[in-house]
Amino acid sequence: MAKTAVSPTRAENYPEWYQQVVKAADLAENSDVRGCMVIKPWGYAIWEGIQRGLDTRFKETGHENAYFPLFIPMSFLEKEAEHVEGFAKECAVVTHHRLEPDGKGGLQPAPSAKLEEPLIVRPTSETIIGATFARWVQSYRDLPILINQWANVVRWELRTRMFLRTTEFLWQEGHTVHATSDEAVEETRKMLDVYAEFAENVMAMPVIKGEKTAGERFPGAVATYSIEAMMQDRKALQAGTSHFLGQNFAKAQEIKFQSQAGELEFAWTTSWGVSTRLVGGLIMSHADDDGLVCPPRLAPAHVVILPIYKSDEERATVLAYCESLKAELATQSYEGEAIRVKLDDRDIRGGDKKWQWVKRGVPIRVEIGPRDVAGGGAFVGTRIGEKPQGMDRAKLVAEAPAMLAQLQQQMFDRAKQARDDASVVIDSLAEFEAFFADGQPGGLVYAHFTDGPDMEAKCKELKVTPRCIPLEPLLGDDGPGKCLFTGAKSERRAVFARAY
């Protein structure tokens, strides 16, 4: 087998392969703060692409961005604690507002600057946004309120993995308020659709839209919906959630409005979010043993041009050719924007340079040497698919947009094929247990169920979770059946899998 750019390979050690791809593709690195990562320019550019794509969709569906404080007063969480047995919250607690010398050459939190009430670094902004909405909402005329926030949040994590679970992460949280239940339900489902469309069309990541079972629901939500993707190790990744909160949060947060009929009513709220976890999903959907593979719609560079020369004289002619090719390619458009072309003229070894862009997952690589200049050609490789080959320059320029579109489609098809290959319909508990037995490859199981302790106990035993009850059943769309766990009548199947 040929040597791979990333070691170990997926087959050898999947978790370690993941960390090595993050490193090889220059996506992120551990920082000097435990559990917090530095998102490097290439990784951040991918996140910017995700932000831009989602933000446009949020605005097209009538949402506006706003910004709420980083800190939550501790008392805001005390209400929540009242309702939770053995409440404990892993979060960053701010207790002082000044540092001073400790008299031993170091610093200490100044005892004289202890806060009367500790502040929590937001693990989510639910409570502080709710308190704000209670001020904003008076009348039905103030509704709906459709707000989104792009922010950093902190949840103290013991075991972290870059992008998938970090103490600090970046996300967006949508929070909306409506006059009726119907409107709020519609909003919840609309944003789930936005997430699914984005995941599939932009990230090339097929997802299952579904409702969470009771045990997996967001605490306090009436219904939680999610998009679930399957990673290459056949584990599921929850890639986005959308919650219909009923009047539960409005009651806790006193979000009331005067209806058109003049009565004071509690409002109906929703919330929905995705995070930098999506970058982890992108990696595990598409990367291979040579590193990241960027879907063209999110690639920070669509095409990288790599000049190859030996002498100064060659350098001059090759670089001039590359510059004009770059300009010509940039006149072409893909997805309504100029093709993003990078010319890498750094003075480093050609092999290292090429592999850097392979590992970063740039869709199209173009190598230009003196012979290409002489012949008016280019040596073109794509990140997946055919072997690199010589190509006429004019043909490359003309076909670049179609090549990108084709790569985008291929990536989606490949990921969907992998998911379909790993998806099964199962109708007996014995089969279910055998499917998830140790040493088996695992995958997605469509099975009848009834929500409750029997199912949960068996799932726990097998280290499996019900991922969701698909809204549009993909497999086993065969009407009612019998719950695998209790034998009771079941209306719908859920999807079960091991998960991140």
Question: Given the complex with Zn ion, which of 82 and 386 has the nearer CB atom?
Answer: 82
Q: Is 233 helix (H, G, I), strand (E, B) or coil?
A: coil
CB within 8 Å of 152: residues ≥ 6 apart: 70, 168, 169, 170, 171
Stretch that binds Zn ion, among 28-36, 74-82, 335-343, 453-461 (CB under 5 A): 74-82
Distance of alpha carbon 179 from alpha carbon 269, whole angstroms: 9
Map residues 31-70 to x or -, x wherever contact with Zn ion holds by CB under 5 A.
----------------------------------------
Which span sits near Zn ion by CB under 5 A: 76-84, 88-96, 360-368, 398-406? Answer: 76-84
Q: Which does 23 bind (CB under 5 to 8 A by kind): a second copy, Zn ion, none?
A: none
* C-alpha closest to that of 134 among 327, 264, 293: 264
Q: How far is the CB of 483 from a second copy (least distance, A)?
A: 38
Q: How far is the CB of 66 from a second copy (least distance, A)?
A: 5
Which residue's Cβ lies closest to Zn ion? 82
What minimum distance in Å lies between the beta carbon of 181 and a second copy?
Answer: 22
Nearer to a second copy, 136 or 437 (CB): 136
Q: Smaller CB distance to a second copy: residue 14 or 156?
A: 156
Which of Zn ion, a second copy, none has residue 12 at its interface (CB below 5 to 8 Å by kind)?
none
Interface positions, 268-297, toward Zn ion (CB under 5 A): none
How many residues touch Zn ion (CB under 5 A)?
Answer: 1
126-136 and 74-82 are packed helices; what angle lies between their axes, rounded to 10 degrees?
Answer: 100
Q: What is the per-residue DSSP string for 164-193? A: TB-SEEEEEEEEEEESSHHHHHHHHHHHHH
Q: Which is nearer to a second copy, 76 or 218 (CB)?
A: 76
The gap between the terminal CA atoms of the chain, to the nearest Å, is 30
Give yes or no for a contact between 224 and 216, defined as CB atoms under 8 angstroms apart.
Answer: yes
Binds 161: which of Zn ion, a second copy, none (CB < 5-8 Å by kind): none
User: How is residue 6 annotated by DSSP?
Assistant: S
Least Å distance, CB 132 to a second copy, is 6
Looking at the Cβ atoms of 82 and 347, the one nearer to Zn ion is 82
Residue closer to Zn ion (CB basis): 82 or 472: 82
d(CA 241, CA 225): 6
Query: Least distance to a second copy from the beta carbon of 278, Å?
Result: 15
Pick 32 or 82: Cβ nearer Zn ion: 82
Among Zn ion, a second copy, none, what does residue 48 contact (CB within 5–8 Å per kind)?
a second copy
Q: Which is nearer to Zn ion, 83 or 489 (CB)?
A: 83
* Residue 264 to residue 388: CA distance in whole angstroms: 68
The answer to whether residue 82 forms part of the interface with Zn ion (CB under 5 A) is: yes
Tell me the H-state helices in 262-309.
277-286
Sheet of strand 236-244, all strands in order from the earlier edge strand to the far edge:
64-65, 145-154, 168-178, 268-275, 236-244, 223-230, 208-211, 465-470, 493-497, 444-448, 423-425
85 contributes a contact to Zn ion by CB under 5 A:
no
**Binding of Zn ion at residue 347 (CB under 5 A)?**
no
CB of 142 to a second copy, least distance (A): 10
Question: CB of residue 335 vs a second copy: minimum separation in angstroms?
Answer: 17
Residue 499, SS3 per DSSP = strand
Least distance from Zn ion to the Cβ atom of residue 82, Å: 4
> Is 150 exposed, middle or buried, given 0-12, 13-18 or 19+ CB atoms closer than 10 A?
middle
CB of 252 to Zn ion, least distance (A): 7
Beta bridge partners of 37: 30
Q: Of 94, 150, 153, 157, give the one whose Cα is nearest residue 120.
A: 94
Q: Where are the alpha helices (DSSP H) in 145-297?
A: 181-201, 248-253, 277-286
Residue 220 interaction partner, one of Zn ion, a second copy, none, beta carbon < 5-8 Å per kind: none
Angle between helices 277-286 and 14-24 (to 10 degrees): 110
Least distance to a second copy, CB of residue 459, Å: 28
The site partner of 81 among Zn ion, a second copy, none (C-beta below 5 to 8 Å per kind) is a second copy
Among a second copy, Zn ion, none, what does residue 70 contact (CB within 5–8 Å per kind)?
a second copy
Residue 489: strand pairing partners: 482
Interface contacts to Zn ion, rule CB under 5 A: 82
